[in-house]
Amino acid sequence: MVVTPERYFYWPRTMGVPQVAVAASLYPYVQSASLGGRTLKRWVVVLLVALAVIVLVSPGIVGRLAEQSLKNSISWAQSESDDLLVIEETFERGWFTAEGRHRIELKKGKLRAAVVGLTGREDAEWIPALLVDTRIDHGLVPVTSMSRKSGSLMPGLASTVSTLQFDPGNGDLIEIPGALYSQVRLSGETVSQYLLEAGSFDDQEAKVEWDGADVSLTTDPSTRSIGYDGAIEPFSVDSGDDSFRLGATEFKGNANRTDFGLAVGSISLEMDSLSVGRPLAVDAATTTGFGKLTLDADSALDGDRVNGKSTMTIADVVVPGFGEIDMAIDVVLNGLDARSMQAIIGTLRDAQGADDPDAALAAVYPRIENDVQTFLSSGAEVRFDRLDVSLPHGEVTTKLSFKLPETAASGEFSWPALILALTASADIRVPVALMELAQSVNPQSGALIAMGILKKDGDFYVASAAYQKGLLTVNGAPMPIPLPVR
């Protein structure tokens, strides 16, 4: 008997094209069902075999892929940071699971020197490290991960959980609370989440208290991209004479490595407060820090040019011996040459990582001179649309603008030609009370008023300056600038 759709479906005269398409698509399945249970049994067997391969066989195969993906991620992470060294101490891979330990050290350079300085140690060879112990459940369906917290059956290369320890340099390991949970996807992308519950730690040297944290990180070595977001609850460290306090902090951002080597992307940050010193001390000069901080910045690549903008506000910045101030900054960058910019940044980064960073930085200019000339002759625009500082004596407001046209095609590089091509402007407002204070401290500051650079306008002194083609105009008065002759 030939089975036709008409025997199983009622076809009304009003049936349109969509309904006919649905009925026709169901027809093969209806016909298969009519042939008895043989087809169904065959597909059940195929399904069971496929599940057995996925659950039992794939973990061993995928384990190798997961191990290679881990090595690729570590290699990529090291290439992204010149300050970190990742060492694989152990790695044992089984059929369903693997376990490993990696050691993360700070390389010699500015960052490690800063850490050494903060700890007050004088041992330049001191190397603190972070130890990361990781368990990996691998397989297309990591069923073994379900035996632990945050396990998942989401298909991928691996599901991992990592715990952290700090090695202060003497081998006495300190447990770091919280755990890092990760999913390595089939594409090689890794999605990680660090979870920290509220807790505290107290010994004879320091007391540490934290209210928790939830931080997520997504990395993709194939596209050279990073995405992150998270929230850190209040955190404090008190060591007796010194203390560190961080208020509730939220952040979100991403970064993408371009073909020029530069990273572009965006970041937003909101921090309630930060203080270093003794916040409760009678002598306020022993404390530095600030109140609320907000930051929004983004950059993008347009051809071979980088454009970016950034907005930052900081409230209640503590200046020892002066008081509290507020700051607001808006910066815009347009048309920066990506290739020469990366060359300059890379050379400066190498100098900072040298055994003697100060000496290396002092001698760096001859190495970047050609790149600096290329960068400047390629043209750029830098604007400070807002550079405001609120002081106890009033608010100082500033706007600055610098613009260089492209002169690279005009021939040999020339500093005088570059200066003549520059256009710039500045608008500054300073409270009269602040200028009076400055003159009482340093009488020479009054020369700015005598020369007409600052002009009184109500409760402010103002300066409006413009520069173009070698001529500087301040408050309407021209002031020619002598230029060197080649």
| Class of residue 295 by CB neighbours under 10 A (exposed 0-12, middle 13-18, buried 19+) | middle
Q: Which of 64-78, 110-124, 246-260 has the highest mean pLDDT?
A: 246-260
pLDDT at 108: 63
In this structure, are strands 174-184 and 477-480 parallel, antiparallel, or unpaired? Answer: unpaired
The pLDDT score that the predictor gives to residue 45 is: 55
Reported as half-sphere exposure (CB side, CA atoms, 13 A), residue 268 has a value of 5
Q: Is 331 exposed, middle or buried (0-12, 13-18, 19+ CB in 10 A)?
A: middle
Question: Is pLDDT of 388 > 90?
Answer: yes
Q: How sure is the predictor about 207, in pLDDT bands with cuts at 50, 70 and 90?
A: confident
* Number of Cβ atoms within 10 Å of the Cβ of 293: 20
| Predicted local distance difference test score (pLDDT) of residue 390 | 92
User: What pLDDT score was predicted for residue 25?
Assistant: 45
Distance CA 131, CA 162 (A): 10
CA distances from 170 to 111, 126, 167, 217, 403 (A): 20, 9, 7, 31, 53
Instruction: Please state, in angstroms and as integers, the Cα–Cα distance from residue 87 to each residue in 84, 158, 334, 338, 350, following that order.
Output: 10, 21, 40, 32, 21
> What is the reported pLDDT for 18?
41
pLDDT score, position 320: 65
| pLDDT tens digits, 171-199 | 778 888 888 888 877 676 888 889 999 99
Mean pLDDT for 391-412 is 87
How sure is the predictor about 37, in pLDDT bands with cuts at 50, 70 and 90? Answer: low
Quick: pLDDT tens for 275-315. 887 644 444 455 678 889 999 999 999 999 999 999 999 99
Q: What is the DSSP letter of 107?
A: P
Q: Which amino acid is present at 202?
A: D
Which range of 142-151, 171-180, 205-214, 300-309 scores highest in mean pLDDT? It is: 300-309
Q: What is the model's pLDDT at position 87?
A: 81
Maximum average pLDDT range among 166-175, 192-201, 272-281, 375-384:
375-384
Q: Report DSSP state, residue 330.
A: E
- What mean pLDDT do residues 39-66 have? 53
Q: How confident is the model at residue 168 (pLDDT cuts 50, 70, 90)?
A: confident
| Mean pLDDT value across residues 374-402 | 93
Q: Are 343 and 368 in contact (CB under 8 A)?
A: yes
Q: Which residue has the higher pLDDT, 405 or 185?
A: 405
Mean pLDDT of the region 193-215: 87
- For residue 394, what pLDDT band results from cuts at 50, 70 and 90? confident
30 and 3 Cβ atoms separated by less than 8 Å: yes
Percent with pLDDT over 90 in the chain: 29
Residue 415 predicted with pLDDT over 90: no
What pLDDT, on a 0 to 100 scale, did the predictor assign at position 6? 39
How far is residue 348's CA from residue 447's CA, in Å, rounded to a whole number?
38
Which pLDDT tens digit goes with each residue over 440-467? 888 888 888 888 889 999 999 999 999 9
Please name the amino acid found at residue 369: E
Please, what is the average pLDDT of the chain?
A: 77
Cβ partners under 8 Å of residue 267, min gap 6: 251, 252, 253, 295, 296, 297, 298
What pLDDT does 231 receive? 95
